[in-house]
């Protein structure tokens, strides 16, 4: 059993408290296949005998619906956008992630604070302020970074749900058509993720591979962690 570390100062009530579980994050840009792989990982872990809790971006019961409504109006400022996502994460951390880690669960996170850091940085939010805002976040045991170049992402999204306003970063590039805006925005997000991959020791996974091969690579990484 280990004590959990945090990106900044640990919340006082969690300082030195042992956590029997493991926190595994699947990160990546829009359309890269994160949610599909998280579902498959969860099923595989449960069949293998592990207790699993899954959490994901904007799933907070406190502010999840608020975020959806705010985004539907296409009028969110970068500051409001950032603070809403911070509230979403804080609520899920308190009610889902920490209790599960203390109880010995494997926590699978479909996106983590790194999504917020990338999205908000490209919208001009100050890097040090963002780091302080999310400093209460636990450091994951493993971050699996699914990576795919922006044009390939655009093709995938067009063939599935279609490109929406926020995935395309239209708040940043209102003069562009939605396809060009998507490629420009996702390219900037990829730059942020690539930098964090180096700085924070993410495990990159080539998402161009067939889904079965990507899933095999993810499972191998998770299995190594759980054997330690």
Residue 47 tokens read as 């069949």
Q: What is the pLDDT of residue 13?
A: 77
- For residue 100, what pLDDT is reported? 96
pLDDT tens string 139-192: 999 999 999 999 999 999 888 878 889 999 999 999 999 999 999 999 999 999
Pairing of β 22-27 and β 142-147: parallel
Q: Looking at residues 190-209, what average pLDDT do you find?
A: 96
Does residue 58 belong to any structural domain of this protein? yes
Structural domain contains residue 173 = no
Is 172 a domain residue?
A: no
Polymer length in residues for the chain: 228
Query: Does residue 162 belong to any structural domain of this protein?
Result: no
pLDDT band for 10, please (50, 70, 90 cuts): confident
Give the pLDDT confidence of 51-91 residue by residue, as tens digits: 999 999 989 999 999 998 888 887 789 999 999 999 999 99
Lookup result for tokens 């020791």: 201
- Whether the per-residue pLDDT at 5 is higher than 90: the answer is no
Give the helix ranges, DSSP H, for 96-177. Answer: 98-102, 113-122, 127-133, 150-159
Mean of per-residue pLDDT scores for the chain: 93
Closest to 27 measured CA to CA, from 197, 146, 130: 146
For residue 156, is it within any domain? no
Would residue 51 count as lying in a domain?
A: yes
> What does the pLDDT look like over 91-141, one tens digit per residue?
999 999 999 999 999 999 999 999 999 999 999 999 999 999 999 999 999
Q: Which domain holds residue 204?
A: 18-149+199-227
| Mean pLDDT on 28-37 | 93
Q: Are 58 and 67 in contact (CB under 8 A)?
A: yes
The predicted pLDDT at position 202 comes to: 97
pLDDT value of residue 2: 75
Closest CA to 58 of 79, 87, 38: 87
CATH number at 49 reads: 3.40.50.300
For residue 16, pLDDT over 80 is answered with no
Counting the structural domains of the chain, the total is 1
| Inside any domain, residue 169 | no
In sequence order, the 6+-apart residues with CB closer than 8 A to the CB of 222 are: 24, 41, 45, 142, 144
Please report which confidence band the pLDDT of residue 45 belongs to, taking 50, 70 and 90 as the band edges: very high
Question: pLDDT-based confidence at 17, cuts 50/70/90?
Answer: confident
The CA R_g of the chain, rounded to the nearest whole Å, is 17
108 belongs to a structural domain:
yes
Task: Tell me what pLDDT residue 18 has.
Answer: 79
For residue 226, give both structure tokens: 């759980």
């Amino acid at each position: 059993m280990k004590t959990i570390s945090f990106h900044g100062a640990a919340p006082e009530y969690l300082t030195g408290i042992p956590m029997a579980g493991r926190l595994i994050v699947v990160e990546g840009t829009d359309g890269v296949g994160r949610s599909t792989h998280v579902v498959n990982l969860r099923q595989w872990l449960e069949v293998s005998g592990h207790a699993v809790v899954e959490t994901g971006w904007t799933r907070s019961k406190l502010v999840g619906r608020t975020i959806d409504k705010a985004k539907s109006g296409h009028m969110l400022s970068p500051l409001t956008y950032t603070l809403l996502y911070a509230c979403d994460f804080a609520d899920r951390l308190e009610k889902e992630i920490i209790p599960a880690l203390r109880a010995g669960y494997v926590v699978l996170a479909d996106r983590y604070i790194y999504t917020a850091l990338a999205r908000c940085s490209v919208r001009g939010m100050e890097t040090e302020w963002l780091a302080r805002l999310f400093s209460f976040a636990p450091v994951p045991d493993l971050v699996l970074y699914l990576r795919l170049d922006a044009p390939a992402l655009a093709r995938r999204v067009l063939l599935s749900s279609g490109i929406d306003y926020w995935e395309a970063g239209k708040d940043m590039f209102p003069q562009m058509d939605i396809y060009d805006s998507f490629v420009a925005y996702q390219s900037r997000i990829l730059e942020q993720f690539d930098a964090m991959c180096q700085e924070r020791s993410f495990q990159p996974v080539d998402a161009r591979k067939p889904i079965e091969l990507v899933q095999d690579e993810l499972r191998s990484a998770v299995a190594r962690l759980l054997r330690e």
